[in-house]
Amino acid sequence: MTDPNVTALVAEETHQVPPGGAPAPRGSRSIWAEALHTLSRRPTVILASLVALFFLVVVVLPGAFTSTDPQRCDISQSKIHPQWFGHPHPFGTDVHGCDVYSQLVHGARPSLVLALLVVAVSVVIGMVLGLLSGYYVGWVDAVVSRVIEVFLVIPLLLAALLVLSLFKGIDTGNGTFGSIVQPAIVLTAFAWMGYARYVRASVLETKNLDYVTAARVLGASDLRIMVRHILPNAIGTVTALVPTAIAGIISTEAVLAFLGVGVQPPAISWGIMISNGAPWFLGGAKYLLLFPLGCLVATVLSFVVIGDNLRDALDPKLR
């Protein structure tokens, strides 16, 4: 009895059927569709997605939410308690007279852009290295595995603290990109290993399956085999990790900013707001801590709920 995957594959590789025109290996499409179906039924996931989407919109279009400049601070207006919407300072002002609401809106950007950037790049690096080391094995694998182990042994936060402390004096500019480039580089450098390992394991698993061997026999190039036949299997696990990773980086940035080594003033981020606001919690200005903390919690929570549910939906073993 022929494996239907092999039949479809032969048709595709011998160009009797255009790529993508052949029925996808029965596994992949149904897993995704099924996962999406399961997830769209869960109210918690829907809610979380809406929240995450909301914050993404805030990042992209801060101007739509506020026209106040967060850096224009009037010291005579300091420590005004929240006046709520309809007033010039809906969430109040901080010690220096800067408007809290606009700080929140603009502070979303470094956190989220950093998280998305770091995760995107580290996923790509991890997948490429994982693919190469799993596919070619031999010394490529030995080297990559050793590198992975070395990086893994140094905890992410610690590496970031060390490197950023050392590079503290260096000025990289104030724009969105400039204020996050240092943490971005460090966090990416220590975040790719997990993906590399998953992908490598997935490659090792799938590379000896019948339909891959069939593709090779039919003369498909290495690259083609890797991308078209092996990668789709690995993508599932990796995708499930992405939302949780984003949440992790958002909160790591908050820690770094809290300690003064993340995004640097005068740029604003939620971590900096928390750092500034914490001492005022008992000093009569609870809102200075609670607003940025609340935003942080909401964003992180939503990404993690999405990520965990996605992972559960894609993992057959957890059923």
CB of 35 to other proteins, least distance (A): 16
Q: In whole angstroms, give the CA distance from residue 219 to residue 9.
A: 12
Q: Pattern of binders to other proteins over 171-190, x per CB under 8 A?
A: --------------------
Q: Is 209 in the site for other proteins (CB under 8 A)?
A: no
Near other proteins by CB under 8 A: residue from 18, 76, 86, 170: 170
In the complex with other proteins, the residue whose CB is nearer, 11 or 141, is: 141
H-helix segments, the chain: 4-13, 26-40, 43-60, 100-136, 138-153, 156-166, 176-189, 193-206, 210-217, 222-224, 231-259, 270-277, 287-314
Instruction: Read off the tokens for 192.
Output: 């790719």
CB of 151 to other proteins, least distance (A): 8
In the complex with other proteins, the residue whose CB is nearer, 11 or 51, is: 51
Near other proteins by CB under 8 A: residue from 59, 163, 234, 288: 163
Q: In whole angstroms, give the CA distance from residue 191 to residue 197.
A: 12
Amino acid at 317: K
Q: Is 282 in the site for other proteins (CB under 8 A)?
A: yes
Q: Is 158 in the site for other proteins (CB under 8 A)?
A: yes
In the complex with other proteins, the residue whose CB is nearer, 68 or 244, is: 244
CB-based contact 105:58 (threshold 8 Å): yes
Q: Is 289 in the site for other proteins (CB under 8 A)?
A: yes
In the complex with other proteins, the residue whose CB is nearer, 17 or 157, is: 157
Q: Is 46 in the site for other proteins (CB under 8 A)?
A: no
Long-range contacts of 112-115 (CB under 8 A, 24+ apart): 112/55, 112/56, 112/59, 112/250, 112/299, 113/59, 113/176, 113/180, 114/180, 114/183, 114/184, 114/187, 114/249, 114/250, 114/253, 114/263, 115/246, 115/247, 115/249, 115/250, 115/253
Only one of the segments 17-25, 69-77, 106-114, 309-317 lies at the binding site for other proteins (rule: CB under 8 A); that segment is 309-317
Amino acid at 238: V
Only one of the segments 28-36, 98-106, 123-131, 303-311 lies at the binding site for other proteins (rule: CB under 8 A); that segment is 303-311
Strand, helix or coil for residue 93? strand
Near other proteins by CB under 8 A: residue from 159, 204, 209, 235: 159
**In sequence order, which residues have a C-beta less than 8 Å from that of residue 198 and are 6 or more positions away?**
126, 130, 234, 237, 238, 241
Cβ neighbours, 10 Å, residue 107: 28
Strand, helix or coil for residue 102? helix
In the complex with other proteins, the residue whose CB is nearer, 125 or 293, is: 293
Interaction residues for other proteins, span 245-264 (CB under 8 A): 247-248, 251-252, 254-255, 258-261
C-alpha R_g of the chain: 24
Q: Is 157 in the site for other proteins (CB under 8 A)?
A: yes
Interaction residues for other proteins, span 131-150 (CB under 8 A): 146, 149-150
Q: Is 100 in the site for other proteins (CB under 8 A)?
A: no
Q: Which residues bind other proteins (CB under 8 A)?
A: 146, 149-159, 161-163, 165-170, 244, 247-248, 251-252, 254-255, 258-261, 274, 278, 281-282, 289, 293, 296-297, 300-301, 304-305, 308-309, 312, 317-318
